[in-house]
Amino acid sequence: MEHRYDANALTAFATGLFEAAGLDRDKAGTIAPLLVEADLMGHTTHGLQLCAPYLKALEDGTMRKEGGPEVLSDRGAVATWDGRRLPGVWLTARAVDQAVERAKLYGTASIAIRRSHHIACLAVFLERATRDGCMVQITSSDPAVASVAPYGGTEPLFTPDPIAVGIPTSGDPILIDTSASITTNGLTGRLHSEGKKLPGKWVMDADGTASDDPGVLFTDPPGTILPIGGQEYGHKGYGLALMIEALTQGLAGHGRADPADGWGAGVYINVSDPTAFSGRDAFNRQIDHIVAKCLATKPATPGTPVRLPGQNAIRKRRDGLENGVPLYSGIMEALQPWAEKYGIPAPSNLAHV
């Protein structure tokens, strides 16, 4: 049975939990709606499923509560922050907003962040830029985590290394959210805990044999997630991972060359304002043409038309706002102890209203 919840009620609930855990209104009021947004868009491993782990990190001090990032360098169009292990969702949202403001002034702006806590779903940040007519790129990695082997190897070195790109159009934006690996730590962890298999041979065991069993990641020695392209064409994902780690760790100045001392993500954000390049009209003319051509392409499977990245997520969000947010099984159960601890009532399942 599917459980749906009012989006505003979920946001108020999560905001209350974060405030009770010690975050100020700005941080709690930024993080909660973005986690709900991830569930609205169908990214169920990176939405409210992260709320309970974040609350635990706030409680044990591995996620810092107070203050802001330390500005290490600022040249106007380029800045570097030390995130001080503050909530990554808040840091990333703040960085995107600042980069948009600066791109309006300089044409393009980039912010690199070191030692950010977990930043959740990259896709939810994209429209903070595209709604202002800007194009945005966001990448992230965590040098303290290793679960993806370099192509041709069997020992984990990289994180899945996500990359997201938001492209404005005259209509709905294009929202690209992918990674240098075939799958994520979140999905493999969920399926392993549920005793389920992956849809394909997306991982390999410690001996280098491709597998659909996420359990190979939890052996000693562990297996690894495969890069995009798998064992045949994984050099593509390998190259992408190297680029992402250079952007997120090299430019931020903190990475795998430093001692691992807990979660400390590297984040890189770039925002470009088309008005500083060819102009908004010229940009839209080109992108709208590409969009129309993509959507008009004859489908390989009759009845299954070509769609744009983010199109399904936007459709799911509209449905969730109208009919309630479908939450993956176990999420509300994981939050119940925190609700009881802080005395904050959980929202009602709409099916029971």
DSSP secondary structure string for all residues of 13-60:
HHHHHHHHTT--HHHHHHHHHHHHHHHHTT-TTSSGGGHHHHHHHHHH
175 Cα distance to chain centroid: 12
Place of tokens 């549920």: 194
Question: What does the alpha-carbon distance between residue 29 and residue 277 come to, in Å, rounded to a whole number?
Answer: 35
- Residue 42, CA distances (Å) to 14, 82, 289, 307 in order: 18, 31, 28, 16
Question: What does the alpha-carbon distance between residue 56 and residue 342 come to, in Å, rounded to a whole number?
Answer: 13
In the three-class reduction of DSSP (H, G, I as helix; E, B as strand; rest coil), residue 136 is classed as strand
Residue type, 194: E
Across 91-126, b (16+ Cβ under 10 Å) vs e yields bbbbbbbbbbebbbebebbbbbbbbbbbbbbbbbbb
Per-residue pLDDT of the chain (353 residues; tens, 9 = 90+): 568 999 999 999 999 999 999 999 999 999 999 999 999 999 999 999 999 999 999 999 999 999 999 999 999 999 999 999 999 999 999 999 999 999 999 999 999 999 999 999 999 999 999 999 999 999 999 999 999 999 999 999 999 999 999 999 999 999 999 999 999 998 999 999 999 999 999 999 999 999 999 999 999 999 999 999 999 999 999 999 999 999 999 999 999 999 888 778 999 999 999 999 999 999 999 999 999 999 999 999 999 999 999 999 999 999 999 999 999 999 999 999 999 999 999 999 886 44
Strands 162-167 and 108-116: unpaired
Within 8 A by CB and 6+ apart from 279, the residues are none
pLDDT of res. 353: 42
Question: What does the alpha-carbon distance between residue 292 and residue 230 come to, in Å, rounded to a whole number?
Answer: 31
Question: What does the alpha-carbon distance between residue 42 and residue 40 come to, in Å, rounded to a whole number?
Answer: 6
pLDDT of res. 261: 80
pLDDT of res. 262: 77
pLDDT of res. 2: 67
> Model pTM?
0.95
Within 8 A by CB and 6+ apart from 199, the residues are 212
pLDDT of res. 52: 97
Token pair of 223 as six digits: 């297996």
Question: What does the alpha-carbon distance between residue 267 and residue 289 come to, in Å, rounded to a whole number?
Answer: 32
